Chains A and B, each alone.
Chain A
Amino acid sequence: MSTKNLLGISLLILATFGLLQVGFAQTPPKTMVVAITAEPDPTDLNPIRMITLYWMAETYADLVEWDQNGKTEPGLAQSWTVSPDGLTYTFTLKDGLKWSDGQPLTSDDVAFNFKIFTEQSTFFYYQWASIQVPDSNTVTGFALKPGAIETPDPKTVVFHLSAPSATFFIYAGGWPILPKHYYEGMDLSKNNPDVTTMVGSGAFIPHERVPGDKIVYVANPYYYGGKPFLDQVIFKVYRDPTGAEIGLQSGEANLMLNVPAQDVPALQANSNLVIGTEQPQLNTYIILNHHPKLIDGSDNPVSNLLVRKAIVLSLDLPSILNASFGTFYKDANQIQVPNMYYLGKAVWNSTIPMPEWPYDPTTAAQLLDQAGYPAGAGGRRFTLNLVIAGQPGASIIKMLQLIQSSLKTVGINLELVLMERSAGRQRIFRGAVPKDWNMALGGISSSPDPDVNAFYMVSTLADNGAAGGFNAGGYYNPLVNQLTVLGENTTDVDQRVAIYQRISGIAHEEVAVLELYYPVEIHAWNKMYQGFVLGLGNPPHDYWGIIKHQSLAKVNIVEVTTTTSTEAMPVGPDYTTISAVVIGLVAIVGVAAYMIGRRGKKAN
Chain B
Amino acid sequence: MGFGTYITKRLIVALGLLFVVTTLNFAIVHLAPGGPEAVLLSNPRLTVEARTAIIKSLGLDKPLYEQYIAYVRGMLTGDWGTSYFYLEPAFKVVAGRVPATLLLMVPSITLTILIGVALGILAARRPYSLLDRALSSVAFFFYAMPAFWLGFLLLTVFSLYLAVLPASGMTSVTGVGFNPIDYLRHLLLPMLTLTLVNVANFSLLVRSSLIEVLDQNYIMTARGKGLTERTIFYRHALRNGLLPTVTMIGLYVGFILAGAILTETVFSWPGLGLLTFDSIFRRDYPIVLALFFIFSAMVIVANLVTDIVYGLLDPRISYE
Contact = CB atoms under 8 A, between A and B. Distances in A.
A508 to B, nearest CB: 21
Contacts of B54: 122
Interface string A228-246: 0000001011111011101
B268 A239 contact: yes
Contacts of A40: 278, 281-282
B83 interface: yes
Contact of B34 (A19, A420, A470, A571): A420
A468 interface: yes
Given A23-B182, A247-B167, A422 B176 contact: no
A246 B49 contact: no
Interface in A11-54: 17, 19-25, 27-28, 31, 33, 40-41, 43-44, 46, 49-51
A240 B270 contact: no
B97 A424 contact: no
Interface string A179-217: 000000000011110000000000000000011111000
B53 A141 contact: yes
A70 B172 CA distance: 39
Contact of B185 (A23, A251, A444): A23
Given A33-B173, A44-B87, A421 B96 contact: no
Contact of B50 (A20, A125, A239, A243): A125
Nearest to A596: B131
Given A23-B185, A247-B168, A420-B34, A462 B163 contact: no
A509 interface: no
Nearest to B82: A190
Contacts of B10: none
B50 A246 contact: no
Given A40-B282, A456-B44, A238 B38 contact: no
B184 interface: yes
A243 B168 contact: yes
Contacts of A139: 53, 57
A124 B50 CA distance: 9
Contacts of A463: 48
A146 interface: no
Contacts of B85: 43-44, 51
Interface stretch (A294-302, A355-363, A379-387, A426-434): A426-434
A398 interface: no
Contact of B170 (A213, A244, A462): A213
A236 B270 contact: no
B161 to A, nearest CB: 5
Contact of A20 (B87, B161, B165): B165
8 contacts: A25-B171, A25-B175, A125-B50, A139-B53, A213-B270, A214-B173, A243-B152, A423-B34
Contacts of A250: 159-160, 163, 166-167
Contacts of B268: 212-213, 236-240, 243
A17 B160 CA distance: 17
A578 interface: yes
Contacts, number: 208
A424 to B, nearest CB: 7
Given A246-B159, A422-B283, A236 B169 contact: yes
Chain A residues touching B, range = 35 or more
Contact of A462 (B47, B83, B131, B164): B47
A46 B33 contact: no
Given A41-B274, A423-B34, 16 more contacts: A19-B181, A23-B184, A44-B85, A125-B50, A126-B45, A213-B169, A234-B174, A237-B270, A239-B264, A246-B159, A247-B168, A252-B166, A253-B173, A424-B34, A570-B161, A572-B163
B275 interface: yes
B307 interface: no
Contact of A212 (B165, B172, B275, B281): B275
Contacts of B36: 422
A122 B282 contact: no
Contacts of B164: 17, 20-21, 575, 578
Contact of B174 (A22, A25, A43, A468): A25
Contact of A444 (B44, B96, B126): B44
A84 interface: no
Nearest to B155: A246
B86 interface: yes
A31 B172 CA distance: 13
Interface in A438-481: 444, 452, 456, 462-463, 468, 470
Interface in B44-62: 44-51, 53-54, 57
Interface in B270-320: 270-271, 274-275, 277-278, 281-283
Interface in A566-604: 570-573, 575, 578, 596, 600, 604
B149 to A, nearest CB: 11
B87 A190 contact: yes
A571 B182 CA distance: 22
B39 interface: yes
Interface string B93-105: 1001100100000
B203 interface: no
A240 B274 CA distance: 11
Contacts of B12: none
A443 to B, nearest CB: 11
Nearest to A422: B34
B123 interface: no
Contacts of A213: 169-171, 268, 270
B46 A123 contact: yes
Given A25-B172, A28-B174, A463-B48, A246 B277 contact: no
B179 A23 contact: yes
B221 interface: no
Given A123-B50, A426-B34, A24 B43 contact: no
A211 B96 CA distance: 8
The CB with the most chain A CB atoms within 10 A, among B39, B167, B181, is that of: B167
Given A43-B86, A123-B43, A211-B96, A246 B167 contact: yes
B285 to A, nearest CB: 11
Minimum-distance CB pairs A-B, first 10: A23-B181, A422-B34, A212-B270, A25-B175, A423-B33, A423-B34, A470-B44, A25-B172, A425-B38, A572-B162
B281 A238 contact: no
A140 interface: yes
A440 B265 CA distance: 28
B252 interface: no
A126 B228 contact: no
Contact of B173 (A19, A127, A252): A252
A423 B270 CA distance: 26
Contacts of B37: 426, 430
A46 B87 CA distance: 9
B35 interface: yes
A92 interface: no
A573 B173 CA distance: 25
A43 B83 contact: yes
Nearest to A235: B173
Contacts of A46: 87
Interface string A527-567: 00000000000000000000000000000000000000000
Contacts of B271: 212
A484 interface: no
A249 interface: yes
B179 A25 contact: yes
B274 A422 contact: no
Given A422-B34, A422-B38, A462 B48 contact: yes
